[in-house]
Structure 1
Amino acid sequence: MKLKDLKAEVEENSLQQALPLEKPESRLKEMWEALRENNAAVVGLCIILFLILVAILAPLIMPYDPNLSDMSKSFLKPGPDHWFGTDQLGRDILSRIISGARISLTVGLSAVVISLTIGVVLGSIAGYFGGKADIIIMRFMDMMLAIPSILLAIAFMAALGKGIDKAVIAIGLVSIPEYARIVRGSILSVKENDYVQAARVIGNKNSRIIFKHILPNVLSSIVVRATLGISTAVLDTAALGFLGLGVQPPVAEWGDMLGRARGFIFTAPYTLIFPGLAITITVLAFNLLGDGLRDALDPKSRKN
């Protein structure tokens, strides 16, 4: 048998060990069926799809300009003209919440992309190669984890400055250790498996082994963490906005709305209630979906 044919056979056998029973299509179908049976996850998914639709159609469905001030209409209570009322500057709260959905989802998704990309690379290097690289990377990750994420994000914002782009970078950086630890642990649990050893024997490069043979088999934990990470990023965005370090006025952002309305909690409580509900519902939706994905991607959970 030629060496080329031997490599092809060994690689095929290694892939069969990684995915022994099912094709990717059947695995996705089974996951979707398991997810559909989880009512809480379906509710979370529906809410997320609704929020995405609102964010996309925001310019078309906002009843008023979210940044238009009219002091003659300040602190109008919820009613037919302004369903959620108006704030201290006479701006329509419903319009600002709809506009804020775009900011929160954009920052959340962008921050997760940054933290996921860097975390996967660092975790893969630490888990696969081990040695000094593992010690250096993971001790640095431990140092970052020792500091509360919001304090670390504030420190990054102080260094980078204010603005939505700076908020994305800051929130993305503080979440890197979580992804790095998850990927490292997952790789350590599978890198000595037969299919990985077979891929190494036939001469595959380390990068090919990591991204083709190892990461696809630890993808479920990464996907679940990324889903839950979006909810954390939304909370961090709101926290930075509340402190005046995130998105700057007059751009509408839920945390900034809370921060500016906290002085009117007794005179105009609706100015806090509605942006607070928006944050709560969004975070809850992503958490419900993340929990549902974790159960759907865990074979032991599906059997129970």
Structure 2
Amino acid sequence: MTRWGLVIVVFYSLVALITPLLICLGWLPDANAGLANPINDSPNWSHWCGTDRLGRDVCVRTMAGSGVALQVVLLAVGLALIMGVPLGMISGYFGGGIDQILMLLMDALYSLPVLLLSMVLAFLLGKGILNAAAALCVVYVPQYFRMVRNQTAQMKSELFVEAARSLGAGPAWILRRYLFRNVITSVPVLLTLNAADAVLVLGGLGFLGLGLPEAVPEWGGDLNLALATVPTGIWWTTLFPGLAMFTLVLGLSFLGEGIEAWLSGSEARPASD
């Protein structure tokens, strides 16, 4: 499972890296170039995945969309990780009023449906890559916070933490030196699973017209544009962006499940002297 997930994620990463280069070299048409192409042309030797109703090459749009999806997802999940982990450690270690305030705020965010909250934030922030990443980031911060906070609260009374505290180590040193590397071990699983969910949420925002500008090649936006032509038998404009979204989510999910299984196996094995 881990191997297949890694292969899929690496494949989309390579596609995201080489597509702008191929466009710059002129080996692929621009993702928004469509005036010279037939409109809603079926797949052929010139356009392997056909063209959409604006005459744009669906294959190029799908390839370029992988870069946009990975860029937004990495920004969103990375920012959520950077914000959620320190807040969770501070809340779990110090407790008291700080813990109550942070828990109240995170529980309020966590109680809202992911897509609904991201829709509201995307509407308020407007369209754009950074705005979409910020909307998704706020959605995933509570998940990192809750996981890290619970682990920190459990581990702060361990003997090695008490020993460090009795030797004069301050809270900042204990959090950085002893607790961080213990609570961070479970983050990669949540990271990959959140990345898979973020691809779907980003696609949902684009499908609803709340994601990125129309000129940006994004799978959800392309599905929204192609929705009107599906009843007329034009299937290729929805098949290829939808298939790309499905396989990337599948790869990230496989990777997350594989990492979780590997970590569980590592914890089950007895530690050597």
| TM-score, length basis structure 1 | 0.83
Q: For the residues of structure 2 that align with 1:72 and 1:213, how far apart are their CA atoms?
A: 60
**Does structure 1 residue 75 correspond to structure 2 residue 40?**
yes
- Return the match for 2:135 from 143, 150, 170: 170
Conserved 8 A contact 1:71-1:88: no
Partner of 2:255: 289
**Does structure 1 residue 47 correspond to structure 2 residue 8?**
yes
Partner of 1:94: 59
Conserved 8 A contact 1:73-1:86: yes
Conserved 8 A contact 1:83-1:94: yes
**Does structure 1 residue 116 correspond to structure 2 residue 81?**
yes
- What's the Cα RMSD here? 1.5
- In the TM superposition, 1:195-214 aligns within 5 A as 195-214=160-179
Q: Secondary structure at the match of 1:252?
A: coil
Deviations 1:235-291 (A, max 9, x none): 111111111111102111011001111111232111111100111101110110001
Deviations 1:174-222 (A, max 9, x none): 1111010000111122111111111111122212211220120122211
Q: For the residues of structure 2 that align with 1:234 and 1:196, how far apart are their CA atoms?
A: 39
Query: Larger radius of gyration, structure 1 or 2?
Result: 1
| TM-score, length basis structure 2 | 0.93
Q: Extract structure 1 runs of 4+ deviating beyond 6 A.
A: none
Conserved 8 A contact 2:127-2:211: yes
**Does structure 1 residue 234 correspond to structure 2 residue 215?**
no
Conserved 8 A contact 1:71-1:89: no
Structure 2 counterpart of 1:53, which letter?
L
5+ residue gaps in structure 2?
none
Q: For the residues of structure 2 that align with 1:213 and 1:149, how far apart are their CA atoms?
A: 33
**Does structure 1 residue 276 correspond to structure 2 residue 237?**
no
Matched residues, number: 264
Identity across the alignment (%): 38
Structure 1 counterpart of 2:258, which letter?
G
5+ residue gaps in structure 1?
1-39
Deviations 1:30-68 (A, max 9, x none): xxxxxxxxxx11011011111111111112345221100
Q: Secondary structure at the match of 2:249?
A: helix
Residues 47 and 204 of structure 1, relative CA distance in 2, 3 Å threshold: same
Partner of 1:57: 18
Q: For the residues of structure 1 that align with 2:38 and 2:5, how far apart are their CA atoms?
A: 35
